[in-house]
Structure 1
Amino acid sequence: MDAKDSAPEVRNLKQLLQYQDKAVVSRMLVKNSAGSVTLFAFDGNEGLSEHTAPYDALVVGVEGRAEVPIGGVTHLVGEGDSLLMPANITHAIKPLGGFKMLLVMIKGEVK
C-alpha cells in the first residue's frame, strides 16, 4: 500500500493486528520503491529462523519481548525499543511469549 493511496489515519499498532494460535501474522502498512513497513504478531512459540536480508531493517518493539540474535550477538527487544539489523548479517526473531513488532525495511544505505 502506498501512502498516497489512503487518507491519513491514526492507528494503534497494538490493536491493528491480533495474535493467532501457532502463527506469525503480518500486515503490510507501507510499500514503495524506498522500502516497506510491516507489522508482525508472533504467537509465543513462533518466530523467524536465522536468515539474511539484502537491506537494513529496523525492528521496533510494539508489545511483549523477543531475543534478536544478529551476527551471533543476542539483543533483547521490548515494547518501545528499536534495533537496527544491518544488511547481509544473519539475524532471527525469537519471541519470549506473544510479541508484536514493526519492521521497517530500508532499501539503500543507512548513514
Structure 2
Amino acid sequence: MSQIYLKNIPHESIFELVGQVQTIPGQIVSKTLAQNSAVSITLFAFGKGEEIGTHDSDGDAMVSVLEGTGKFIVDGHEYILKTGQSLVMPANKPHSVYGEEDFKMILTVIFPSSK
C-alpha cells in the first residue's frame, strides 16, 4: 500500500477544489489537505465578516482566492483579493485575513528546511 500525502480530497478523480469546502454564515471552515514539517496546504471558507486575527508564520504563505473577496493585511499593508488572485505573505511578517464577503481560499505554507 502506498503512503497518502494529500488527504481529504479525491484521488485519481477530476474535481473542483472550490467545492471541497462550504461557506457557513458566522464561521470559518477549514480542511487540511497536507501537513508536515515542509509544507501545509489548507482550504478555507470564510463567512462574511469572519476573520483570523494578526499572527505570523515561520514559512512563506501563499493564498489563492477560489471564490469571493477577502481582505489580507500583511505587515500593515492592506490587499483586497478577488476570485483567481493570489498573494504571498512572507515568513515572519504579521498578517491577518478578513471575509469582505463569503469567500474561499487555499493556503499553501512552505516552511524552512530543518538542518
- Summarize deviations over 1:26-73 as a string: whole Å, max 9, x none: 001122332111000000021111111111100001000111110111
Q: Which has the higher mean CA deviation after the structures are superposed, 8-17 or 100-109? A: 8-17
1:17 equivalent in structure 2: 21
Instruction: Verify: 1:99 aligned to 2:108, yes or no.
Output: no
Residue identity in the other structure for 1:93: V
The 2-side partners of 1:16 and 1:45 are apart by 21
Q: Could you say which residue in structure 1 is the equivalent of 2:73?
A: 69
**Partners in 1 of 2:12 and 2:109 — Cα distance?**
21
Return 5+ residue gaps in structure 2 as ranges.
Answer: none
Asked if 1:79 is matched to 2:83, the reply is yes
Q: Count matched residues.
A: 108
Q: Which residue identity does 1:99 align to in structure 2?
A: F
> Residue 52 of structure 1 aligns with which residue?
56
Alignment pair present for 1:42 and 2:39: no
- When normalised by structure 2's length, the TM-score is 0.85
Segments ≥4 residues shifted beyond 6 Å? none
Identity within the alignment, % = 33
Task: State the Cα RMSD in Å.
Answer: 1.8
Residues 58 and 112 in structure 2, CA contact (< 8 A), matched pair in contact too: no
Q: Which of 30, 37, 40 does residue 33 from structure 1 map onto?
A: 37
Q: What corresponds to 1:2 in structure 2? A: 5
Larger CA Rg, structure 1 vs 2: 2
Alpha-carbon offset, residue 96 of structure 1: 0.9
Q: Give secondary structure in 1 for the equivalent of 2:101.
A: coil
